[in-house]
Chain A
Amino acid sequence: MAERTLALPDRLRRVTDDTLGRHLLAGLVGAVVVVLLLSFLGGFRVSQLASFSYLAIAAAGLTVLTGLNGQLSLGHGAFMAIGAYTTAVLQRTELGLPLVVVLVAAVLVAGAVGVVVGLAAARLHGPYIAGATLALAIAVPGLAIFWRDLLGGEQGLTVPLPDVPAWFADAVFFLTATDPSSSRYVAYLAGLALVAVLVLLANVARSRTGRRWQAVRDDEVAAQLAGIDLGRARVLAFVVSAACAGLAGGFMAFVVRLTAPSGFTLTLSLTLLTAIVLGGLGSLTGALIGAGLLTFLPQVVTSVGGDVGLSDVQSAELAPLVYGLVMVLVILLAPGGLVGTIRLKRAERAARRAAAAGATASTGAPTSADERTRAASGTGATTGPEDPQHDAPPSTERKRSS
């Protein structure tokens, strides 16, 4: 009787034991949060959330590439530019394409360029990839000036806002009793796209593909001996990541409403890198946290600068200064970033508990195998950023080659 009709908590546990189930559940909760937030917040907060969403989409893509696959791309600003220009050009045509089609096109174009760049990057490593993608970040905005007639030169292209579909207006009216503006419509789409991207990436990271990417990152020779095609794994990771950046660029075009070369400087690419380093390389949660900091920190810092007595122009430079300093400090003191450091601390605590339990009685072992490996990697080592750690970002595990 009790076995046939499981209680609700048990059913829930059955869902959360399954990776896909857990991710879908988290995605569902995320989607509900997005809809609630966007329905009841004011216009300014909505546009801030929309910026957060596109930054987070790009950061999530980058953290998968850099954290899981070990390829450091400084060119994701360029992929965002490609997505944004594709969106702007298609949106300005008289075809009246649906928004989703425009965004899919942005993803496809960015992904296609990602294939080309990824093929080149797959044969390089470390500083060479960084240098090549840095060149990409500098080169792509120049193209917009070169093809002035199509892409609008220095002034850039203004992006017309999309029409709000009737069903969406009805649904929002049902929820909030107001008619949604088109920027709110874009914000909804961006928020929901972010949730979808996170669920997809989380699943890919836990799948065979994701494990291959990590194997390639950790040890090329071992991965090759295990039958993994290094080049294919690398190119695939690059394409997925570039496609995310393309989607982010598409949303950026709609949120900013102007696509110009000055929006895609090297700073944008470095900003994305800051986001993922702060949060913790390879962790999607970390990417979310990092993108959140990047969206909301500038206001705080700028107002602090104003209080201290700096001019507006000077205060505007405080935010990057803080990012840069934090990035340097994170690398020096806690290379795992926020998420990685919390994981490390938790593993250390588990190890200490296990050691204490082991001292009193030999039966007091940790419960799960996963916890045991974490405990094992934590014991016996001094606490420090250089500790080999389970689940750590690649940076702490890979020693310098050559």
Chain B
Amino acid sequence: MQQLTTTLLTGLTLGAVFSAFALALVMIWRSTRIVNFAQAPMAMVTTYVALVLIDAGASYWVGFVAALLSGFVLGAVIERVVVRHVEGKAELNAVILTLGLFIVLHAAAALVFGSRFRSFPAPFGVRGLTVGDSTIPLTGFGIFTLVSVLVVMGLLVALFRGTDIGLRMRAAAFGPEVARLLGVKVGRMLTLGWALASVVGSLSGLLIAGGGLVHPGYMDSVVVYGFVAAVLGGLESPGGAVVGGLSLGLTLSVVSGYVGSEVVPLAALLVLVVVLLVRPGGLFSTVHERRV
């Protein structure tokens, strides 16, 4: 029983991080039809920005905000300078381009920050909370993870549903030509979309890193889990990404707890293949499209 609750609670926090990462992928996919495989190293780079600041004596929160800001800038720059040229072109080119960025960011981070493992601080305790004389396996940092992911999601919903700029962004993603005719600066909206997605990606990077070790490849497997979570939700819907992330987190945590942590990536692969074979549009798809 104790092990089951531990497993489930770990899965829940892990799932929250996957949700955030999947959300970043979905935001970019919806606006530019590109799966951004470079999201993982982008988040890794911003985490290093935070780490450098913290090591230089700044508080955790200064590093936290700096990482999110650098994520914003990095996302905007990458979209405007590099990705803009392959938008709307062959999908193979875009995939290869993001993989090229993956390699570049990886190598650049190893060059600048070094490739050894470094520990990353957590702002809250990483031990289980004590209630009475029993310990519940929910750590302070775990609660922080859940809360920050929920807050970010709330902010995103508020942005897209409630503000003018959110409406423009949705219009630019939904029908670029029409939106352009109606006076929306589509290019600028796409840049903003990438920047925001990159902020969400950075957040997931910070949450994964908190209380653990950081090295240039520490996000590599997260891109796979985030992708699987996004596909579970259909790659189109932000809500689907959240549900997909949480259910994947729980599944993988159970696999890790009862079978072995080495087979976790394999379990993710199996989940992905089964979902794609049974429901190619994701768990929440209702419309079946047929391309002719």
Q: Decide yes or no whether B77 CB sits under 8 A from chain A.
A: no
Q: List 30 A-B contacts (CB under 8 A).
A: A74-B99, A123-B280, A126-B91, A126-B92, A126-B95, A130-B95, A131-B224, A131-B227, A138-B224, A143-B262, A270-B103, A273-B99, A274-B100, A277-B96, A281-B92, A317-B110, A320-B103, A320-B106, A321-B107, A324-B102, A324-B103, A324-B107, A327-B99, A328-B104, A331-B96, A332-B97, A395-B92, A399-B90, A400-B90, A401-B291
> How would residues 284 to 321 of chain A score, 1 for a CB under 8 Å from any chain B CB and 0 otherwise?
00000000000000000000000000100110011111
Among B96, B268, B272, B277, the one with the most A-chain Cβ atoms within 10 Å of its Cβ is B96
Write out the residue numbers on chain A whose beta carbons fall within 8 Å of the beta carbon of B265. 135, 138-139, 142
Q: Is the CB of B110 within 8 A of A135?
A: no
- Kindly identify, within residues 62 to 106 of chain B, every residue whose CB is under 8 Å from any CB belonging to chain A: 82, 85-86, 88-93, 95-97, 99-106
**Which of B95, B107, B272 is close to A127, meaning CB atoms less than 8 Å apart?**
B95
Q: Which of B86, B93, B104, B264 contacts A142 (CB 8 A)?
A: B264
Q: Does A245 contact B (CB under 8 A)?
A: no
* A contact residues around B33 at 8 Å (CB): 400, 402
Between B100, B115, B292, the greatest number of chain A beta carbons within 10 A of the residue's beta carbon is seen for B100
Give the contacts of B108-130 with A (CB-CB under 8 A). 108, 110-111, 114-115
What's the minimum C-beta distance from A78 to chain B, rounded to whole angstroms?
A: 10
What residues of chain B have their CB less than 8 Å away from a CB belonging to chain A? 33-35, 37, 82, 85-86, 88-93, 95-97, 99-108, 110-111, 114-115, 217, 220-221, 223-224, 227-228, 231, 260, 262-266, 268-269, 272-273, 276-277, 280, 289, 291-292
Q: Are A127 and B35 in contact (CB under 8 A)?
A: yes
Which residues on the A side are within 8 Å of B101 (C-beta)? 324, 328
Q: Is the CB of B99 within 8 A of A270?
A: yes
Q: Is the CB–CB distance between A402 and B272 below 8 Å? A: no
Q: Determine if B90 and A395 form an interchain contact, defined as CB atoms under 8 angstroms apart.
A: yes
- Knowing A142-B262, A318-B111, A332-B82, say if A274 contacts B276 (CB, 8 Å): no
- A318, A319, A331: which contacts B86 (Cβ < 8 A)? A331
Contact in complex: A221, B107 (CB < 8 Å) = no
Shortest distance in angstroms between B100's beta carbon and chain A's nearest beta carbon? 4
Give A141 to B146 CA distance when docked, in angstroms. 31
Q: Which residue of A lies closest to B84 (CB)?
A: A332
> Bound state CA distance, A201 and B277, in angstroms?
30
Contact flags A68-100 to B (C-beta < 8 A → 1, else 0): 001010100000000000000000000000000
B96 with A395: CB separation less than 8 A: yes
| A335–B276 CA distance with the chains assembled, in angstroms | 30
**CB pair A130 B35 closer than 8 Å:** yes
Cβ contact within 8 Å between B276 and A328: no
The interface residues of chain B lying within 8 Å CB-to-CB of A143 are 262-263, 266
* A contact face: mostly helix, strand, loop, or mixed: helix
Please tell me if the beta carbons of B228 and A131 are within 8 angstroms of each other in the complex.
yes
Chain A residues near B106: list those with CB within 8 A: 320, 324
Taken together as a complex, chains A and B put the C-alpha atoms of A46 and B85 apart, in Å, by 42
Question: Contact check: which of B89, B102, B260 meets A386 at CB < 8 Å?
Answer: B89
The interface centre, meaning the residue of B220, B228, B262, B291 with most chain A CB atoms within 10 A of its CB, is B262
The 10 closest A-B pairs by CB, nearest first: A324-B103, A324-B104, A327-B100, A321-B107, A127-B35, A139-B265, A328-B100, A320-B107, A135-B269, A139-B266
In the complex, are the beta carbons of A325 and B276 less than 8 A apart? no
State how many angstroms separate the Cβ of A393 from the closest Cβ of chain B. 8
For A74, A145, A317, A401, the residue with the greatest tally of chain B CB atoms inside 10 Å of its CB is A317
A residues 130-175 touching B (CB-CB < 8 Å): 130-132, 134-136, 138-140, 142-143, 145-146
Kindly list chain B residues whose C-beta atoms are within 8 Å of the C-beta of A127: 34-35, 91, 95
Whole-angstrom CA separation of A273 from B92 in the bound complex: 12
Tell me if A40 counts as interface (CB < 8 A to partner B): no
Which residues of A are found within 8 Å of B105, using beta-carbon distances? 324
**Contact with B266, one of A70, A134, A142, A325 (Cβ below 8 angstroms):** A142
Give A153 Cβ to nearest chain B Cβ, in Å. 9
Could you say which of B224, B289, B291, B292 contacts A135, with CB atoms under 8 Å apart? Answer: B224
A331 near B97 with CB under 8 A, answer yes
Across the two chains, which residue of chain A brings its CB closest to B289? A402
Q: Which of B86, B103, B114, B277 contacts A332 (CB 8 A)?
A: B86
Partner among A124, A138, A313, A396 whose Cβ is within 8 Å of the Cβ of B90: A396
| Interface pair A395/B223, CB less than 8 Å apart | no
Shortest distance in angstroms between A292's beta carbon and chain B's nearest beta carbon?
Answer: 19
Q: A371 near B: Cβ within 8 Å?
A: no
Given known A320-B107, A324-B100, A402-B289, contact A313–B269 (CB-CB < 8 A): no
Least CB distance from A195 to B in Å reads: 28
Chain B residue at minimal CB-CB distance from A135: B269
Decide: B269 and A70 in contact? CB cutoff 8 A.
no
Chain B residue nearest in CB terms to A330: B100
Question: Residue A45 at the B interface, CB < 8 A?
Answer: no
B194 to chain A, nearest CB (A): 16
Say whether A266 faces chain B, with CB atoms less than 8 Å apart.
yes
Partner of B85, one of A74, A324, A332, A398: A332
Q: Contact partner of A138 among B82, B88, B111, B221, CB < 8 A? A: B221
A243-271 CB mask vs B (1 if < 8 Å, else 0) is 00000000000000000000001110010
Cα–Cα, bound, A145→B107 (Å): 26
Bound CA span A397–B276, Å: 26
- Cα separation A265 to B280 with both chains bound (whole Å): 28
Q: Is the Cβ of A400 less than 8 Å from the Cβ of B276?
A: no
Tell me if B102 and A270 are in contact (CB < 8 A): yes
Partner of A70, one of B89, B92, B231: B92
Given contacts A134-B223, A136-B269, A321-B104, contact A120 B277 (CB under 8 A): yes
What residues of chain B lie closer than 8 Å to A135, measured between beta carbons? 224, 227-228, 265, 268-269, 272
User: A400 CA to B35 CA in the complex, in Å?
Assistant: 13
Find chain A residues with CB under 8 A from B221 CB. Answer: 138
On whether the beta carbons of B111 and A314 are closer than 8 Å, the reply is: yes
